Structure 1
Amino acid sequence: MAQLFTTFNFKVLLHLPNQKDLCEAAFSECSGLEMNMAPKTIREGGNNGRQIHLAGPVSFGQLSLKRGMTSSFDLWEWFDKVQQQRNLRASGEIHLLSPSREKTVIFKLSGCLPVKLRAPTLSAKDGQIAIEEMQIAYEHLRILKPNR
């Protein structure tokens, strides 16, 4: 029987090469795990009723992470490091957990580059939690199926 996974049971891990884990806080939202393939379409000479699609280049989305702002400035420090070391890239994993937390689907990201960091919207009238957001471009995405 197929295992169902829910969208609220996940964890995000980001790692810089030869350093400790990058994130110290849980994220409330994670989106942008996607791959797109642009097919190359060709037409066979003399055959006007058919076109042929060949596999084309693959592009990847941008990961968007949101979390409540804490006293940890790990994402801000990473953004600063990338400004000074232009080729510094991280790797990442998003673990989608089963309700029993025994099985996981793992989305593995490589070549992660922070491209946008947004501070929380500040408003004295709302009394809401301050949410910070980071967008990360990644070079490759693959999925690891759960162990059975």
Structure 2
Amino acid sequence: MARKDPYRNFRFRVEIDGINQAAFADAVIPDSTTAPIDYREGTDPVHNRKLSGQTTYGNVTLKWGLTDSMDLYNWRKQVIDKGAQDNRKNLSLVLIDEAGDDKARWNIMEAWPTKYDSSDLSAKGAEVLIESLDLVCEEVVRVQ
């Protein structure tokens, strides 16, 4: 039987409805958590049952080197100016193997930017200026 090595995390693509961004340095895949609910039947005074409650999803965090593109910042500005209702987008995080083939895909639904941040300016530095965007979402599904 052939050995199957795990995929590396450094080759990926981010697809966002209507936004073309050349490259990202980091993309955080959100976690999902289903809250346990304790339930005790009246006839059983000792044992609790564990029922499943509401499922919540963590934030997506995207980081990229600053370029002339204003697309992601403008999306954040639209949320500030008009609210999230009409500014939600679907996106996908796609893992790519060494041969360039898509190997895993996480679809993220109804996302909108909740926080924008940029690294500090420094006359003493030579680092790339990094922008980051935190997105909240309503659902995350791994489809591949």
TM-score normalised according to structure 2 size: 0.88
Structure 1: distance between partners of 2:105 and 2:45: 44
Q: Which residue is 1:14 aligned to?
A: 16
- Describe the superposition over 1:75-126 as per-residue Cα deviations: whole angstroms up to 9, x where unpaired: 1111122234421211100001222222421100111110011122111112
Structure 2 residue runs of 5 or longer lacking an equivalent are: none
Question: Which letter maps to 1:10?
Answer: F
- Give the paired residue count: 140
Matched, 1:107 2:106: yes
- Describe the superposition over 1:12-58 as per-residue Cα deviations: whole angstroms up to 9, x where unpaired: 1111xxxxx31322110111421111011112334344221111100
CA contact (8 A) 1:4 1:98 kept: no
Superposed displacement of residue 138, structure 1: 0.6
Structure 1 residue runs of 5 or longer lacking an equivalent are: 16-20
**Which structure 1 residue ranges, 4+ long, deviate > 6 Å from structure 2?**
none
SS at match of 2:53: coil
CA contact (8 A) 1:112 1:138 kept: yes
Q: Which residue is 2:7 aligned to?
A: 5
Matches within 5 A, 1:26-41: 26-41=23-38
Matches within 5 A, 1:66-81: 66-81=63-78
Matched, 1:140 2:136: no
Q: Which residue is 1:61 aligned to?
A: 58
**Counterpart pick for 1:82 among 74, 79, 82:** 79
SS at match of 1:96: strand
Q: Which residue is 1:94 aligned to?
A: 93
CA contact (8 A) 1:69 1:120 kept: no
TM-score normalised according to structure 1 size: 0.86
Percent identity between the two aligned chains: 24
Structure 2: distance between partners of 1:117 and 1:144: 28
Question: Which letter maps to 1:143?
Answer: R
Question: Which letter maps to 1:37?
Answer: T
Structure 2: distance between partners of 1:99 and 1:3: 12
Structure 2: distance between partners of 1:81 and 1:47: 54
CA contact (8 A) 2:94 2:102 kept: no
